[in-house]
A and B are shown apart, each in its own frame.
Chain A
Amino acid sequence: MTCVILSAATLFPRSGEPLSSHIFDGAPPGRSAQLLRMDRLCGLSLCVADRVLLASPAAGRFDPNTTAILVGSRYGCHKSDEDFFRGLLEGQPSPRLFAYTLPSSPVGEVSIHHELRGPGLSIVSGRTAGLEALAQATLLLESGQAQTCLVIGCEAASPSLIEHATDVDLCDGAAAILLTGATADAGHGYLAASSTNFVANDPAAALFVCIEELCKNVPACRNAALICDPQTRSYMPSSLVYETPPCGAAASIAVLAGLGTRTDADAFVVLSADPAGLGAAVLWRRGMGG
Chain B
Amino acid sequence: MIDRVAVTGLGAVSSLGLDVESFWRGLVDGKTALRQHSILAPFGFGELPLGLVPLPADLDEEGRAWQCGRPRATACAELAAAEAMADAAWPASSRLGICVGTTLGEKAPWVSRLRGTDTDDDGAFGAAAPAHVLASRYAARRLRVVSAACASSNAAFQVALDWLRGGLCDAVLCGGVDALQEFVVAGFTSLRALSPLPCRPFDAERSGLNLGEGAAFLLLERESHARARGRSIRAFLDGVGLSCDANHMTGPDREGRGATRAMSAALVDAGRDAAAVDFVSAHGTATLFNDLMESQALGTLLGARVPVVPINSIKGSIGHTLGAAGALEAVMAVRVLEEQLIPPTVGHLQRAENIKLDVVAGDARQVPIDCVLSTSSGFGGLNAAIVLSRGPR
Report A's interface with B, CB cutoff 8 A: 64, 68-69, 75-76, 78, 81-82, 84-86, 88-89, 93-95, 98-105, 107-109, 111-112, 114-126, 129, 132, 136, 139-140, 142-143, 145, 160, 164, 196-201, 209, 276-278
- Least distance between A279 CB and chain B CB atoms (Å): 10
Contact of A122 among B114, B132, B148 (CB under 8 A): B148
B148 lies within 8 A of A112 (CB): no
Classify the secondary structure of A's interface with B: mixed
A68 CA to B140 CA, complexed, in Å: 27
A124 CA to B242 CA, complexed, in Å: 18
A209 CA to B188 CA, complexed, in Å: 43
B142 lies within 8 A of A197 (CB): yes
A112 lies within 8 A of B246 (CB): yes
B146 lies within 8 A of A98 (CB): no
4 closest Cβ pairs, A-B complex: A108-B380, A119-B242, A98-B187, A111-B244
- Least distance between A227 CB and chain B CB atoms (Å): 23
**With A116-B244, A120-B242, A196-B144 as given contacts, are A102 and B103 in contact (CB-CB < 8 Å)?**
yes
User: Which residue of chain B has its CB nearest to the CB of A201?
Assistant: B136
B166 within 8 A of A: yes
- Least distance between A119 CB and chain B CB atoms (Å): 4
A89 CA to B131 CA, complexed, in Å: 29
B295 within 8 A of A: no
Q: Which of B21-29, B50-58, B154-162 contacts A (4 or more CB under 8 A)?
A: B154-162
**With A94-B190, A105-B249, A198-B140 as given contacts, are A122 and B379 in contact (CB-CB < 8 Å)?**
no
- Least distance between A107 CB and chain B CB atoms (Å): 6
- Least distance between B260 CB and chain A CB atoms (Å): 11
**With A88-B186, A139-B162 as given contacts, are A200 and B127 in contact (CB-CB < 8 Å)?**
no
- Residues of chain A within 8 A (CB-CB) of B110 are 81, 160, 164
A129 CA to B131 CA, complexed, in Å: 14
Instruction: Please tell me the number of chain B residues within 8 Å of chain A, measured between CB atoms.
Output: 64
A145 CA to B268 CA, complexed, in Å: 10
A111 CA to B242 CA, complexed, in Å: 13
A123 lies within 8 A of B146 (CB): yes
Contact of A107 among B131, B158, B162, B382 (CB under 8 A): B382
B145 within 8 A of A: yes
B135 within 8 A of A: yes
A119 lies within 8 A of B144 (CB): no
User: Which residue of chain B has its CB nearest to the CB of A213?
Assistant: B168
B248 within 8 A of A: yes
- Residues of chain A within 8 A (CB-CB) of B381 are 108, 111-112
- Least distance between A282 CB and chain B CB atoms (Å): 15
- Least distance between B266 CB and chain A CB atoms (Å): 10
B158 lies within 8 A of A103 (CB): no
A105 lies within 8 A of B183 (CB): no
A85 lies within 8 A of B183 (CB): yes
- Least distance between B320 CB and chain A CB atoms (Å): 14
A69 CA to B245 CA, complexed, in Å: 12
28 A-B contact pairs sorted by A residue (CB < 8 Å)? A68-B242, A76-B126, A93-B187, A95-B190, A98-B188, A98-B190, A99-B249, A104-B147, A107-B244, A108-B379, A108-B380, A108-B382, A109-B249, A111-B246, A111-B380, A112-B248, A112-B381, A115-B246, A118-B243, A119-B241, A121-B155, A124-B145, A124-B146, A125-B144, A143-B162, A197-B142, A199-B141, A277-B136
B186 lies within 8 A of A93 (CB): yes
